Chains A and B, each alone.
Chain A
């Protein structure tokens, strides 16, 4: 009898442990909630429970979409952030990746290269406004003539500035800098406001330094790698100018502060705190400054990058799981079209966004340029604007003819290498710009040769 009890104890222990160690949310992509004949499709990036209004709008859209398409069941997934490199592969390996998964532009090329997304070339023709989408944005999702995804938003890097600080420093916030010389002058005046004021902020670690070096380089007409992607192309006059300008601002003008910024939040906190005058960034930054860092959107303005001939393209979109069936792909595309690509619907339903107090009027997302859907979106946006659109007018005007360029291949590896010259010029007065760039060039060439 005693041994029987012990056996029960043993088995219970094992069962409980297994239950504790394992786990299944029971809400996978196997058709949860779908009725017979319905196609169930799991979709990433439902707003989190903490963003109540956005989540409610999403859920409303799901109901409306399912009413339009009774044969489709949208199963929303709300992992936050929507794309997390630390868990992406684990979700993939564990069969937990959504049928329609979210991805940021910097990660698209790698996912395509590693064969982790499915080719949807034969399905995208069904998108009604597909031909009007900006080619520089859709090209992000193309490789070898095939299409692997659909954009949700897209924007080129510009210059974000604090209008209040501009006024305080005697600068005209309606006439932001158009050249790097003007940026230097403005930064000096802002830094001159007193201790703790930073004229221009820049990153230099955790791969963010390399990212912004590339953005500046593109703005000056340079390139990170050669067109065939086999050699580094940044050891040029443009590359040197990027570093030399920063070095001069840091050590000659003393307008960049003394603190090294290594994470995205570092500059955002300073900008939202009202102590930093300028930084590179796209218009979406102002929304984050308000939503995540308690800044006031009306205090900020955005203009094009100084002297910009091209801009590093940022944004996000959706790709499809390799295991998704053709039916799921078609259903997923219909949802994406409804939610992200149709004027007046989903993310472009500006009257509704205005009604719930979301900022409307930023010149993003710009997916359609000046095509008819683009014009309709711009008109809707203007008619329902809740933010001072004139604060973003310099960006809209300045970027109209600026080509958006994608990130280089092996972007993160190259950014990690380029962190070194960025951190050197911002921490060492005797940094040798030419040597830093030739060292980085040799390292990137070695990286590219291996790939």
Chain B
């Protein structure tokens, strides 16, 4: 049985719920459209294009040729493929040890301080304000085996100098130090913001119960910030697995492939070997790995918001 749509007095039809919602949210859609179009052009379209390119041979003049999984095979058989993944994973793990724990500890210290807090926050955040290329080149001088700052300091302490970027045993760790230094400020500020949301009553209660600083951190700080810690952990993994600028500017992937990373290898394929198919295939592999962490991040974020 058809239901007549309700009409207003005077014969005018009452708008449907959909139209009412649309009208009510029209301005929101207007503002959103800009972001959606930019995302579509600069994020979603390139992702789809990368997916397609990874199964094609394309010289961008003639119609592309579908090559199935040939590009993936090329990447798998590359002698740099295994070192690139191993280096990326080791870099990520080392970056977690340094880049994840250190900012949290600094944030705790800053949170405990009563004096010069604003000044120290500025000092900690300062490296973030430097363009990454500048920061990396600054470390190039720090690491110089001759007149570099680090070896000069070791010399003052009567310790032998290190080869830093020029030794297979220290090159990757040297890149981790650069990366940690560059990103320290952002992480610290986020942790600090999270720490400041913890009700002070909890600390007071813990102090009354006789808890020292370690127990306060263990029983109050960490449980109260566990969601932000989890989110930061995943974001850190996602960011560090895409390490590129450090090996690109400091080591060129060497010595002896000791610092070649997955994204550096992608760059090689795309811009030095002009093999966009293989570069896209490698990018797709990395995307699939990062997607696992992204899904976990989304779940945790939802839990946090819920």
A interface, CB within 8 angstroms of B: 3, 6-7, 9-10, 13-14, 16-18, 20-22, 85-86, 88-89, 92-93, 110, 114-116, 195-196, 204-209, 257-260, 262-263, 322-323, 410, 412-413, 416-417, 419-420, 423-424, 426-428, 443, 446, 450
In the complex, A114 Cα to B255 Cα: how many Å? 31
List the one stretch of B4-12, B191-199, B227-235, B265-273 in contact with chain A: B265-273
A259 to B143, CA, bound (A): 9
**Of the candidates A13, A195, A419, which one forms a contact with B254 in the assembled complex, judged by CB atoms under 8 Å apart?**
A419
Distance to closest chain A CB from B130 (angstroms): 20
Contact A260 B26 (CB under 8 A): no
CB pair A18 B253 closer than 8 Å: no
Given contacts A412-B272, A446-B79, contact A258 B60 (CB under 8 A): no
CB-CB under 8 A from B56, the residues of chain A are none
Known: A6-B30, A205-B252, A259-B146. A21 touches B59 (CB 8 A): no
Q: Are A14 and B79 touching (Cβ within 8 A)?
A: no
Q: Contact: A205 with B167, CB < 8 Å?
A: no
Which residue of chain A has the shortest Cβ distance to B73 in the bound complex? A450
CA distance A426 to B256 in the complex (A): 10
| A416 with B38, Cβ < 8 A, contacts A89-B276, A195-B146 known | no
Contact A419 B252, CB 8 Å, known A9-B30, A17-B34, A412-B272: yes
* B219, CB-defined interface residue at 8 Å: no
Q: Which residues on the B side are within 8 Å of A322 (C-beta)?
A: 61
Give 27 CB contacts A-B under 8 Å: A3-B23, A6-B23, A9-B27, A10-B29, A13-B31, A13-B34, A22-B41, A89-B274, A89-B276, A92-B61, A93-B60, A110-B274, A195-B146, A196-B147, A205-B251, A207-B252, A207-B272, A259-B145, A260-B251, A410-B273, A412-B272, A416-B253, A424-B255, A426-B166, A427-B166, A427-B167, A427-B168
Residues in A whose Cβ lies below 8 Å from that of B253: 205-206, 416, 419
Q: Which residues of A contact B248 (CB under 8 A)?
A: 206
B36 nearest in chain A by CB position: A17
With both chains docked as a complex, state the minimum distance between the C-beta of A148 and any C-beta of chain B, in angstroms: 13
Which of B30, B79, B165 has a CB less than 8 Å from the CB of A417? B79
What is the CA–CA distance of A259 and B144 in the complex, to the nearest angstrom? 7
Q: Which residues of B contact A9 (CB under 8 A)?
A: 26-27, 30
Chain B residue with the shortest CB-CB distance to A21: B41
Question: B residues within 8 A CB of A450?
Answer: 74, 77
Instruction: Name the distance in Å between A126's Cβ and chain B's nearest Cβ.
Output: 25
- The residue that A115 contacts in the complex, of B26, B62, B146, with Cβ under 8 A, is B62
Measured between alpha carbons, how far is A114 from B59 in the docked complex, in Å? 6
Which residues of the partner chain B approach A263 to less than 8 Å between Cβ atoms? 252
Closest to A115 in B: B59
Known A89-B60, A116-B59, A450-B74: A17·B33 in contact at CB below 8 Å: yes
Closest to A10 in B: B30
Report chain B residues within 8 Å CB of A110.
274
| B26, A21: Cβ atoms closer than 8 Å | no
B271 with A85: CB separation less than 8 A: yes
Query: B residues near A, CB below 8 A?
Result: 23, 26-27, 29-31, 33-34, 37-38, 41-42, 59-62, 74, 77, 79-80, 144-147, 163, 165-168, 248, 251-257, 268, 271-274, 276
A17 surroundings in chain B (CB, below 8 A): 33-34, 37-38
Asked if A204 meets B254 with Cβ closer than 8 Å, knowing A14-B33, A115-B61, A412-B273, the reply is yes
Tell me if B274 and A443 are in contact (CB < 8 A). no
CB nearest neighbor in B for A442 = B79
CA distance A417 to B42 in the complex (A): 34
Known: A416-B268, A427-B167. A205 touches B77 (CB 8 A): no
Q: Give the CA-CA distance A64 to B162 in the complex, in Å.
A: 60
Question: Considering the chains assembled together, what is the distance between the CA atoms of A196 and B144 in angstroms?
Answer: 11
Q: Which residue of B lies closest to A205 (CB)?
A: B252
Closest B residue by C-beta to A440:
B79
Starting from the known contacts A85-B274, A259-B145, 7 additional A-B residue pairs (CB-CB under 8 Å) come to: A14-B34, A17-B33, A85-B271, A207-B252, A207-B268, A258-B146, A423-B254
* Nearest A residue (CB) for B255: A423
Contacting residues, chain B, for A209 (C-beta < 8 A):
254
A424 to B256, CA, bound (A): 6
In the complex, what residues of A have CB within 8 A of residue B144's CB?
Answer: 259
Whole-angstrom distance between the alpha carbons of A3 and B24 in the complex? 9
- Who on chain A is nearest to B171 by CB? A427
A412–B273 CA distance with the chains assembled, in angstroms:
6
Closest residue on chain A to residue B269 by CB atoms: A413
| Residues from chain A with Cβ under 8 Å of B80 in the complex | 416
Chain A residues closer than 8 Å to B276, beta-carbon distance = 89
> Which B residues are in CB contact (< 8 Å) with A85?
271-272, 274
Q: Given known contacts A424-B255, A427-B255, is B59 in contact with A86 (CB within 8 Å)?
A: no
Least CB distance from B208 to A in Å reads 56
A10 adjacent to B26 (CB under 8 Å)? yes
- Closest CB in chain A relative to B108 CB, distance in Å: 39
A409 to chain B minimum Cβ distance, whole angstroms, is 12
Which of A13, A92, A416 is B30 in contact with, Cβ under 8 Å?
A13
The docked-state distance in angstroms from the alpha carbon of A410 to that of B38 is 37
How far does the alpha carbon of A190 sit from the alpha carbon of B272 in the complex, in Å? 35
Report chain B residues within 8 Å CB of A10.
Answer: 26-27, 29-30, 33
State the CA gap A93–B255 with chains docked (Å). 35
B-side contacts of A205, CB under 8 Å: 251-255
Determine if A443 and B256 form an interchain contact, defined as CB atoms under 8 angstroms apart. no
Set of chain A residues within 8 Å of B62, measured between Cβ atoms: 115
- Please, how many angstroms separate the alpha-carbon atoms of A208 and B254 in the complex? 11
Report how far A48 CA is from B55 CA in the complex, Å. 38
When distances are taken between beta carbons in the complex, the residues of chain A under 8 Å from B268 are: 207, 412, 416
Partner of B272, one of A3, A16, A204, A416: A416
Contacts of B42 in A (CB 8 A): 21
Task: Kindly report which residue of chain A lies nearest to residue B274, judged by CB atoms.
Answer: A110
- When the two chains form their complex, are residues A260 and B254 in contact, meaning their CB atoms are under 8 A apart? yes
- Contacting pair B166 A21 (CB below 8 A): no
Q: Do the beta carbons of A6 and B26 come within 8 Å of each other?
A: yes
B41 and A204 contacting across the interface, CB-CB below 8 Å: no
Among B38, B79, B167, B257, contact of A21 (Cβ-Cβ < 8 Å): B38
- Nearest chain-B residue to A111 (Cβ)? B274
CA distance A92 to B58 in the complex (A): 11
Residues on B with beta carbons closer than 8 Å to the beta carbon of A424: 255-256
Which residues of B sit under 8 angstroms from A208, Cβ to Cβ?
252
Q: Which residues of A contact B145 (CB under 8 A)?
A: 258-259
- CA A159 to CA B187, docked complex, whole Å: 49
Residues of B within 8 A of A410 (CB): 273
Residue of B nearest to A424 (CB): B256
A206 to B165, CA, bound (A): 14
A410 closest partner in B (C-beta) = B273
